[in-house]
Structure 1
Amino acid sequence: MNTPVPLRIAVLSFAHTHSLSYVHALKAMPGVELVAADPDGAAAADDALRGAALAAELGVAYVDTYDEAFAWKPDAVVIAAENSRHRALVERAAAAGVHVLCEKPLATTVEDAVAMQEACERAGVILMVAYPVRFAPSVRDAITELRSGRLGKVLGVTGINNGKLPQDRAWFTDPELAGGGALVDHVVHCADLLDELLGERAQSVRAVSNSILHAERELEVETGGLVSIRYPSGVIATIDCSWSWPMSSATWGGLTLQVVAERGTVTVSPFAKGVAGHDAHGETWSPVGADLDALLLDEFVHAVREGRQPQPDAGVGIRTVEIATAAQASASRGGEVVTL
Structure 2
Amino acid sequence: MNTRRDFLQKLTLSAAVIPFLPGYSPSSLTDFSNHPYQGRVLRVAILGLGSYGTRVADAMQSCKRAKLVGAISGTPAKLKEWQSKYNIPEKNCYNYDNFDQIKNNKDIDVVYVITPNALHKEHVIRVAKAGKHAICEKPLSVNAKDGQAMVDACKAANVKLLVGYRMHFEPKTLEVIRMRKDGEFGKVLFFQGLSGFTIGDPTQWRLNKQLAGGGAMMDIGIYSINGARYMIGEEPVWVTAQETKTNPEKFKEGVDETIQFQLGFPSGAVASCLSTYTMNNLDKFFLNGEKGFAEMQPSTGYGPIKGRTHKGELTQPHMTHQTIQMDEMAAIIFDNKKPVVPVDGEEGVRDLKIIDAIFLAAKTGKKVSLTV
> Under a length normalisation based on structure 2, what TM-score does the superposition of the two structures give?
0.74
State how far apart, in whole Å, the 1-side matches of 2:352 and 2:331 are.
Answer: 26
CA contact (8 A) 1:79 1:100 kept: yes
In the other structure, the counterpart of 1:100 is: 134
- 8 Å CA contact 2:133–2:159 kept in 1: the answer is yes
Seen in structure 2, the aligned counterparts of structure 1 residues 142 and 69 have a Cα distance that, compared at 3 Å, is: same
Residue 309 to residue 169, structure 1, CA distance change in 2 (3 Å): farther
**What does residue range 295-306 of structure 1 map to in structure 2 within 5 Å?**
295-306=324-335
Alpha-carbon distance in structure 2 between the residues aligned to 1:22 and 1:80: 10
Match of 1:285 in 2: none
Confirm or deny: 8 A CA contact 1:133 1:189 kept in the other structure.
no
Task: Check 1:296–1:164 CA distance in 2 against 1; reply closer, same or farther (3 A cut).
Answer: farther
In the TM superposition, 1:323-334 aligns within 5 A as 323-333=354-364
Report the identity percentage.
24
Q: Quick check: 1:202–1:229 contact (8 Å CA) kept in 2?
A: yes
Give how far 1:219 is off: 4.2
Partner of 2:261: 227
Residue type at the aligned position of 2:369: T
Is contact 1:10–1:69 with CA below 8 Å preserved after alignment? no
Cα distance, 1:273 vs structure 2: 7.1
Q: Which has the higher strand share?
A: 1
- Structure 2: distance between partners of 1:34 and 1:116: 24
| Residues 1:67 and 2:100 aligned together | yes
Scaled by the length of structure 1, the TM-score of the pair is 0.81
The residue aligned with 2:319 is 290
Distance 2:117 2:167 in 1: 19
Tell me how far apart the structure 2 counterparts of residues 161 and 58 of structure 1 sit (CA, whole Å).
34
Instruction: Decide whether the 8 Å contact of 1:225 with 1:240 is kept in 2.
Output: yes
Task: Give the distance between the partners of 2:351 and 2:67, measured in 1 at CA.
Answer: 30
Residues 273 and 93 of structure 1, relative CA distance in 2, 3 Å threshold: closer
Q: Which amino acid in structure 2 is aligned with residue 131 of structure 1?
A: Y
Question: Are the structure 2 counterparts of residues 208 and 304 from structure 1 closer, same or farther at C-alpha, using a change threshold of 3 Å?
Answer: same
Q: How far did residue 25 of structure 1 move?
A: 2.1
Closer, same or farther in 2 for the Cα pair 1:14/1:168, shift >3 Å?
farther
Q: Matches of 2:132 and 2:202 in 1, distance apart?
A: 31
Partner of 2:178: 144
| Map 1:31-42 → 2, pairs under 5 A | 32-39=67-74
The reply on whether 1:13 has 2:13 as its aligned counterpart is no
Question: What is the one-letter code of the residue matched to 2:243?
Answer: S
Mapped contact 2:117–2:141 kept (Cα < 8 A)? yes
TM-align CA RMSD: 2.8
Whether contact under 8 Å (2:101, 2:130) holds in the other structure is no
Alignment partners' CA distance in 1, 2:164 and 2:332 = 14
What is the CA distance between 1:296 and its match in structure 2? 1.3
- 1:97 is paired with a residue whose SS is coil
